[in-house]
Amino acid sequence: MARGKLEELRLYLRQRPVMMALLAGLTVIFFLAVTGLSRAYQAQREALGNRWFSRGMADLKAEHFESAVTEFRSALLYSPDNYAYQLNLAEALIGLKRTSEASSYLVNLWERQPEDGLVNLELARIAVQKGQRVEAMRSYHDAIYAAWPSDQEEKRREARLELVEFLLDANAKAQAQSELIALEENLGPDAKEQEKVGDLFLRAQDYEHALGAYRASLKAERDNPAALAGAGAAALQLGRYPQAQRYLQAAVLQDPKDAQSVDRLKTAELVVGMDPFRRPISAAQRGKIVVEAFATAGERLKACSVGSALPTAVQTSLAGSWAKLNPRITEAGLRRNPDLVEDAMDLVFEIERETSASCGVPAGTDKALLLIAKLHEGN
């Protein structure tokens, strides 16, 4: 009996490793099967998510924002934490002006990747819509100095351009100038880009940099009418009237329907033609110009005096000075006494300044004389 039990025990011990190996094998097979099924299930979910995401991207590109939102939400059902799905959903929501919903996604994404340039750019745009100036500027700067992928580097420039537009709309011209100077340092030779920056410098009233940008544009595209017009406008503001005249003549030649350039060209031509102190110029030409300028100022004073727009004391003083000097301001008188040129033009400039302050901004020849007065201030 004892011997039989001993044999059974020996048999069991011989069979146990086999059974254990069999069970282990079955466990491994079961585990692999479950893992395979899990992977297949996950792959299927990813495929479905990617399919919805691709549809959403197509609709987002076509600006079919409502459809894009639905498709991105469907994609998120299969991958709730997918960064790209959430980011593009936020962009579609922004397209629908549903900024509050978009904000919640973007803030969550920013917490995950605060250095993401696109997230910061979208947050800046939302802040602009909400009128949150400080937040907008902070997010724009974060976007500008973010780590952009090499194929999206133009987004950095786009962010700075948007910031400049935002600052100009807020009349923060000094800050806009600083941002434009930083942008200009990294700007290539592309004619359209230089022209765009020139336009922004012009709006920011940084006429020197505006002229430089337009010149860079014209190096790449010599007959660009917009750049010629911009260069002419900038040179006009800088008081470089012969230079402005050349640019504006070329601009009008390229685009005769550009009414603004036509008007600026007339001003530049008047200033160049009516400035008695420009060089070279003959004594006869100077005398003729002074006589005409003196008569123009007299007419301006007479017109401004109607309705007593000028203070009485100023009007009386200027009218008396003009009447006293008038008989001597002839071409023959100026030839005999060239020193009268200075006296006559000093009075002309004084009349144009005073009447401009009291009777409004002048036009035509009076405007040209006022610009000439500014040009020679302090001389």
Number of other CB atoms surrounding residue 13 within 10 Å: 9
Report the alpha-carbon distance of residue 139 to residue 133 in Å, rounded.
Answer: 10
328-360 core/surface letters (b: 16 or more CB in 10 A; e: else)? ebeeebbeeeeebbeebbebbbbbbebbbeebe
Task: Dump pLDDT digits (tens) for 48-83.
Answer: 888 988 999 999 999 999 999 999 999 988 888 899
Could you please report the per-residue DSSP string of 196-216? HHHHHHHHTT-HHHHHHHHHH
Task: Dump pLDDT digits (tens) for 157-175.
Answer: 899 999 999 999 999 999 9
pLDDT of residue 209: 96
Tokens for 92, please give them: 């579609």
Contacts of 92 (CB under 8 A, 6+ apart): 56, 59, 60, 65, 68, 69, 72
Task: Dump pLDDT digits (tens) for 216-264.
Answer: 999 999 999 999 999 999 999 999 999 999 999 999 999 999 999 999 9
Q: Which fold has domain 171-274?
A: 1.25.40
User: What is the C-alpha end-to-end distance of the chain, expressed in Å?
Assistant: 136
pLDDT of residue 355: 92
The mean of the pLDDT values for the chain is 88
pLDDT of residue 358: 86
Is the confidence at residue 25, as pLDDT, over 70?
no
Distances (CA, A) of 14 to 9, 20, 22, 23: 9, 11, 14, 15
